[in-house]
Amino acid sequence: MRKLNEMDLAEIVGSTVKGYHIEGVRIKRGEFTDSDHYGIILGRNDGGNYVTWQFHLDEDDSVNPYWGHYHMENREAALRDYNERDLTGKPFKVTITETLRKTVEVEAKNRQEAEQIVSENWKNSEYVLDADNFVEVEVASVSVDGEEEAFQ
């Protein structure tokens, strides 16, 4: 990932990224030393829906967008978000929950006993779940000040 420059921005405006025609692009404002390695995009798809993304350039200079805010047909909200999304930050508490799953077969008299056997075996580290047992991840956040954020 490299520092963005005005030539990069000029090449991105008017292009299409993930089905969105790029109407605006700018370098991210920020306090961090590498803030100028990231940018903000304003895009509109053929259905009239708007998005703002944060992005960086990959090694091959392709645009890598992420952290999208989708605004449906509300251009005004999208423009406001495009102009303001990196001006001020506020603290958030973000909880990451990973779900791992493994199925084992045991002989038991009934379901309760089977669950008890597996539970004891798991506690004794006979079953160790790792990345191969990954099922899903959930990310949820709340602002530290308790305010809820709604994205249109």
Q: What are the pLDDT digits (tens) for 62-72? A: 999 998 999 98
Q: What pLDDT score does 140 carry? A: 85
Give domain limits for the chain: 6-84, 92-143
50 with 71: CB under 8 angstroms?
yes
Backbone angles phi, psi at 106, to 5 degrees: -135, 155
Q: Which two tokens stand for residue 21?
A: 């025609």
* pTM score: 0.55
Region 2-23: mean pLDDT is: 92
Greater pLDDT, 72 or 120: 120
Q: What pLDDT score does 152 carry? A: 34
Q: What pLDDT score does 145 carry? A: 61
Q: What share of the chain is helix, strand, coil (3-state, %, to 5)?
A: 25, 35, 45
Greater pLDDT, 90 or 56: 56
Identify the residue whose tokens are 């992420």.
Answer: 66
